[in-house]
Amino acid sequence: MKVALVDGGGTNIGSVSYALERLGASSRLTADPADILAADRVILPGVGAAGAGMCRLRELGLVETLAQVQAPLLGVCLGMQLLFERSAEDGGVATLGLVPGEVVGIPGGPDLRVPHMGWNALTGLVEDPLLAGIEEGDRAYFVHSYAAAPSEHTLASTVHGQPWTAVVRSGLRWGAQFHPERSASVGARLLRNFLMEVDR
């Protein structure tokens, strides 16, 4: 199986690659449109700001490429946020538009730290091949200041002051707001499912 890791400049690319290696899967870090379009699975990692992330993808000519991907595509953390239509970060950024909806800032408060950082429960799970073997209340590791409100495309939520989308799907595009590469057995199961259970 050919797994393309999109080289969008995310600092979590190495840890995602290692997580895949632990599952016995090799991946290719690439910004080559031909490599990405030929892959059996495409993963868009990301850490940082939406504006910089989209700028990098535009500079590489990958915005149209990602829209053309016919294989299963998984966005991770910022990579998930970039799948949506728009992010409120950096004063408002048009993103890839592959998943309906908008990413907004998480409101802080006296007892509510932003960024949301740490282990949090997954709730409201919807049956989907990506979540096979993951149970209600299982915990995953989050680091983010922006998030998408739950919608009809949400497969799992998490609560930080209010519910936020933790896993999303639109067609063959999935996203995980948490870091599967840092989420122990839950993250490993999600990545294994993406490699073995989801289909074209």
**Could you say which architecture CATH assigns to the domain 3-196?**
3-Layer(aba) Sandwich (3.40)
Can you give the pLDDT at residue 10?
62
Per the residue annotation, which of 77, 89, 144, 160 is the catalytic one? 77
**Distance of alpha carbon 97 from alpha carbon 33, whole angstroms:** 18
From 89, 153, 179, 197, active-site residue: 179
Q: In this model, does residue 23 exceed pLDDT 90? A: yes
pLDDT (average), residues 118-134: 98
Q: What is the DSSP pairing of strand 116-121 with strand 154-160?
A: unpaired
* Per-residue pLDDT tens digits for 134-189: 999 999 999 999 999 999 999 999 999 999 999 999 999 999 999 999 999 999 99
Token pair for residue 3? 């797994």
160 is catalytic: no
Provide the pLDDT confidence category of residue 34 given band limits of 50, 70 and 90: very high
Which residue from 96, 100, 77, 91 is spatially nearest to 149, judged by alpha carbons? 100
Angle in degrees, CA 167, 128, 34, rounded to 5: 70
63 vs 47: CA distance, rounded Å: 17
Check residue 170 and give its pLDDT.
Answer: 98
What is the rounded distance in angstroms from the CA atom of residue 52 to the CA atom of residue 62? 14
> In the annotation, is 55 catalytic?
no
Known catalytic residue at 144:
no
| Maximum alpha-carbon separation in the chain | 49
- How would DSSP label each residue in 118-143? EEEE-BSPPP-GGGTT--TT-EEEEE
